[in-house]
Structure 1
């Protein structure tokens, strides 16, 4: 992918700030599931650290929704929209891996938990609603957004229209909080479930807002890294206060309608500061690049851990080590998988080019769309 100078940000193909945000979201999601697995294996008890990891990490999935919206709208802003290319790209990079991993997790449950397979209709419903395993619902949400995106991008093509879309989406997500339709059967269950995409529409829309106001957001946030760090700490303190006073919270809580936009902008703002630390930058670059693969595979690693690791390792002091082990195993697996032909249909991994042949170009603000 060709690099562009910072004076032409609308033509950039790789924005490392978003990549950094994706790594941040990935770490949060893994934290949720590591702590939840520990909770289930340890007589269902929390300590302060595992409870924090689980509750704070619930920002992660919602941030992924913002990133999904950003990448789609950013591509339209930069290159326009071609329906054929869009369908081919999304089908090969998202839908096929989603189907493959849905089948893999159904087999895992069938093999280990002796779960019987339902009739074909029931199994197809499980897959389409992301009910094959606990984390796949979010991929089903993203696929639903893909269905309406060709219509959205045709309507909301300017900054003003994106502002309107974001505001309307905020109202929709707010109104659908705790939505329980008076409909029986599978349809009613789906509409009331976390897999129902309109509940999440604001976060996709805010991603579009970031895409169309990207230059302004970067100029504002990256010039104030310490203030952005302060925003992150303030949101973090508020999140701790919320779950300490209200108890267990979900990733669809109303406070996220404020927290997630502020957190996304603030994380983007501290990227230039953290990128000066080479080891941090390289680590987060790999995590961001492998984030979808890590998202898809890490519950399987935890599932196998839960069935094969001795009880000794399910103590709170081993949680950080387990977190690290999951990240390393997932990353190594993805790296090895890349040597297999057509592995992109199993786990898509975006390519990163440093463009070393053009020393005058500053790659610091590039990132993949």
Structure 2
């Protein structure tokens, strides 16, 4: 089987604006879920139609983050055509695992200080951290960490488009069959396997990220040349989500329809980049949000938690939820910027550099077409 040719990284350094645009959208969706949920609890556990819309439409965010995680791993592999196991784990430890443990401790102390949740014995406390249960959003970091454990094996095998396509199909079958999975195992292991933190439930989204990475030039060329159609597709998917939660009630980010929604929506958002990026008042904030997305993901629940305990009741008027949403985003980005002045801040919140290079395109100096395996 022929291996994938790679780009000459010295001559062709690109910044994948479309992917970071997608990451910004995912970040906004996730924050929307948590802002609306906090507003719900601050208003006697009541939603308005709009706060409920924000909560439910935002359920697309976390699976899209999984797509992006898979994409970045496999795209880097494709571009470099080499894999250093030691460097990989060292990098993941610095950029993901250490921040995960630091923020797990921060949120655990928060619960101790405000909710008077006393610290228990070492092992029960360690189990909370290891299983991503220190706070409601940290489970996803654990999911990504689990994927890192199998990536060294996957990268040895998935070196052609055909194999990536097969992997993607198998992964979607796995995720479909694990929907509502409840193993007949008691204790902590059984609870973990049945929980939303169990990575194989999400494997389809990581696999689609790999698919996106290995078919990138064709997909981005097709999508970005049809921005209005892609915008219409995104609106149709969103309308379908509204119909779904209206008919069936609350839906989670692991619903079966997302197995179709997330790939289509990801491509649609990528395709709208040329359209929306024409306006700097949209492009510049989205670039910044994409850059700070992991930091925003880690810190925004802290901001909402403190707001819920210190802001007077009038601030939680449901009519002001967009103002609250904007305030959370701005405070999070200011907080991240301040943290960047701290020595070794990348171990607290990793922030990628936005390189001043040409955007990734398919017309200028794109990688050679990828050949199918024989």
TM-score, normalised by the number of residues in structure 2 = 0.93
Q: Could you say which residue in structure 1 is the equivalent of 2:168?
A: 166
In the alignment, the residues of structure 2 paired with residue 62 and residue 41 of structure 1 have an alpha-carbon distance, to the nearest angstrom, of 27
Residue 42 of structure 2 is aligned to residue 53 of structure 1: no
- Tell me the matched-pair count: 354
Aligned-residue CA RMSD (Å): 1.4
In the alignment, the residues of structure 1 paired with residue 359 and residue 235 of structure 2 have an alpha-carbon distance, to the nearest angstrom, of 29
Match of 1:243, SS? helix
Alignment of 1:333-352 (within 5 A): 333-352=335-354
In the alignment, the residues of structure 1 paired with residue 176 and residue 250 of structure 2 have an alpha-carbon distance, to the nearest angstrom, of 20
In the alignment, the residues of structure 1 paired with residue 221 and residue 359 of structure 2 have an alpha-carbon distance, to the nearest angstrom, of 16
Alignment of 1:254-265 (within 5 A): 254-265=256-267
Deviations 1:144-166 (A, max 9, x none): 00011100111111110000000
Alignment of 1:240-259 (within 5 A): 240-259=242-261
Residue 43 of structure 2 is aligned to residue 27 of structure 1: no
Q: Could you say which residue in structure 1 is the equivalent of 2:148?
A: 146
In the alignment, the residues of structure 2 paired with residue 166 and residue 11 of structure 1 have an alpha-carbon distance, to the nearest angstrom, of 28
Distance 1:185 1:123, change over 3 A: same
1:363 to 351, 359, 364: 359
Deviates further, 332-341 or 235-244: 332-341
Q: CA deviation at 1:122?
A: 1.0
Task: Return 5+ residue gaps in structure 2 as ranges.
Answer: 1-6, 363-374
In the alignment, the residues of structure 1 paired with residue 83 and residue 34 of structure 2 have an alpha-carbon distance, to the nearest angstrom, of 36
Match of 2:120, SS? coil
Give yes or no for contact 1:11–1:78 (8 Å, CA) kept in 2: no
In the alignment, the residues of structure 1 paired with residue 360 and residue 79 of structure 2 have an alpha-carbon distance, to the nearest angstrom, of 19
Q: Could you say which residue in structure 1 is the equivalent of 2:91?
A: 89
Q: CA deviation at 1:12?
A: 4.1
Distance 1:365 1:322, change over 3 A: farther
Give yes or no for contact 1:26–1:294 (8 Å, CA) kept in 2: yes
Give yes or no for contact 1:70–1:210 (8 Å, CA) kept in 2: yes
Q: Could you say which residue in structure 1 is the equivalent of 2:365?
A: none
Alignment of 1:184-263 (within 5 A): 184-263=186-265
Give yes or no for contact 1:16–1:365 (8 Å, CA) kept in 2: no
Q: Could you say which residue in structure 1 is the equivalent of 2:41?
A: 40
Match of 1:93, SS? helix
Give yes or no for contact 1:172–1:201 (8 Å, CA) kept in 2: yes
Task: Return 5+ residue gaps in structure 1 as ranges.
Answer: 1-6, 356-361
Q: CA deviation at 1:8?
A: 7.5
Residue 74 of structure 2 is aligned to residue 78 of structure 1: no
In the alignment, the residues of structure 2 paired with residue 142 and residue 198 of structure 1 have an alpha-carbon distance, to the nearest angstrom, of 11
Q: CA deviation at 1:84?
A: 1.2
Q: Could you say which residue in structure 2 is the equivalent of 1:285?
A: 287
Q: CA deviation at 1:312?
A: 1.1
TM-score, normalised by the number of residues in structure 1 = 0.94
Match of 1:354, SS? coil
Deviates further, 313-322 or 213-222: 313-322
Deviations 1:109-147 (A, max 9, x none): 000000011211111111111100000000000000001
Deviations 1:219-278 (A, max 9, x none): 110010011011101101000000000000000000000000000001000101111111
